């Protein structure tokens, strides 16, 4: 029988920020490759609706309301995953927010908020998941953690300093965790994914920010600016990111940890 290393049969995943956009696409891709998936989001109405659609399509998916800034919500969502599906092999730390504006315009409150959501959630997610995933723990098989960073965590972009700083922290948190988990024998791989400008609600916010800081006159013009900055000459789709995450979650990426994967149409290669 042909062995498909991308198959996720008998694996259990938890995906945060799963109600819309990249998160929702990740849930569907992982589930269609055989995983049992706990989708979590702070927006319970949108999250439950998205999950219901997938369940009606025959996929093994459940939903848990989840504020990724709260440790008690992490404990509850991970516990619910173990109770519902009997394990945890994959964590996709996708939830995050975007706050734009120039460095001189940003308030300390805005900077602290974006750090809280985008960085604290990575810490809490890795800590809570790894404590049950590591060898000898409750789930006990090891697995894969994928942290969503951004191309703004790799290169400088006008009007993105607060957001980019938070995503740069995600990049290095990933590397430190990967080395630590490997050296301590947890059998948990940790990698980061760095999307470019993707067609999502958050992407639209970024385009508006280009207008607000004076880099483009309209959102349509902002999109053309980004396309010009991107060697492939187009914007990304949520499926582009979900497919990379699917690879990193699977056994096909068995010898990959501590790495960063840009899915940005070549923007950061210039």
Average confidence (pLDDT) over 61-74: 98
Average confidence (pLDDT) over 175-193: 98
- Using DSSP's 3-state secondary structure scheme, residue 14 falls into strand
Positions marked active-site: 163
- Maximum Cα–Cα distance across the chain: 60
pLDDT in tens, 205-222: 989 988 988 889 999 999
- CA torsion 189-143-150-108 (nearest 10°) is -90
Kindly report the average pLDDT of the chain as a whole number.
96
Could you tell me the pLDDT band of residue 37, with boundaries at 50, 70 and 90?
very high
Would you say residue 66 has pLDDT above 90? yes
Would you say residue 43 has pLDDT above 70? yes
pLDDT number for residue 42:
98
Quick one: which of 242, 128, 131, 250 has its CA closest to 186?
131
Distance CA 11, CA 205 (A): 35
Distance CA 80, CA 68 (A): 15
Domains of the chain: 12-196+237-263 (3.40.50.720)
pLDDT number for residue 1:
60
10 Å Cβ neighbour count for 170? 24
Average confidence (pLDDT) over 32-60: 97
Percent of the chain whose predicted confidence (pLDDT) is above 70: 100
Distance CA 119, CA 101 (A): 19
pLDDT number for residue 225:
87
pTM of the model: 0.96
pLDDT number for residue 157:
87
Quote the strand ranges of 199-259, DSSP E. Answer: none
Average confidence (pLDDT) over 145-163: 95
pLDDT in tens, 3-27: 899 999 999 999 999 999 999 999 9
Average confidence (pLDDT) over 255-267: 97
């Amino acid at each position: 029988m042909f062995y498909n290393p991308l198959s996720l049969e008998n694996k259990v995943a938890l995906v945060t920020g799963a109600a819309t956009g990249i998160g929702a696409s990740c849930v569907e891709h992982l589930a269609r490759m055989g995983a049992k998936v706990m989708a979590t989001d702070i927006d319970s109405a949108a999250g439950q609706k998205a999950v219901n659609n997938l369940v009606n399509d025959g996929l093994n998916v459940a939903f848990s309301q989840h504020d990724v800034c709260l440790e008690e919500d992490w404990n509850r969502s991970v516990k619910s995953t173990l109770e519902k599906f009997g394990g945890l092999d994959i964590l996709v730390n996708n939830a995050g927010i975007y706050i734009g504006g120039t460095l001189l315009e940003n308030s300390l409150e805005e900077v602290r908020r974006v750090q809280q959501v985008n960085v604290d959630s990575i810490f809490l997610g890795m800590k809570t998941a790894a404590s049950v995933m590591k060898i000898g723990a409750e789930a006990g098989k090891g697995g894969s953690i994928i942290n969503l960073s951004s191309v703004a965590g790799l290169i400088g972009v006008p009007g993105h300093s607060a957001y980019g700083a938070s995503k740069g922290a995600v990049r290095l948190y990933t590397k430190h965790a990967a080395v630590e988990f490997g050296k301590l024998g947890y059998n948990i791989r940790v990698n980061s994914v760095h999307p470019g400008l993707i067609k999502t609600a958050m992407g639209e916010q970024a385009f508006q920010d280009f207008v607000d800081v004076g880099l483009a006159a309209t959102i349509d013009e902002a999109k053309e600016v980004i396309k010009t900055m991107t060697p492939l000459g187009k914007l990304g789709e949520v499926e582009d990111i979900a497919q990379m995450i699917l690879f990193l979650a699977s056994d096909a990426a068995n010898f990959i940890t501590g790495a960063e994967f840009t899915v940005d149409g070549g923007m950061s290669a210039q």
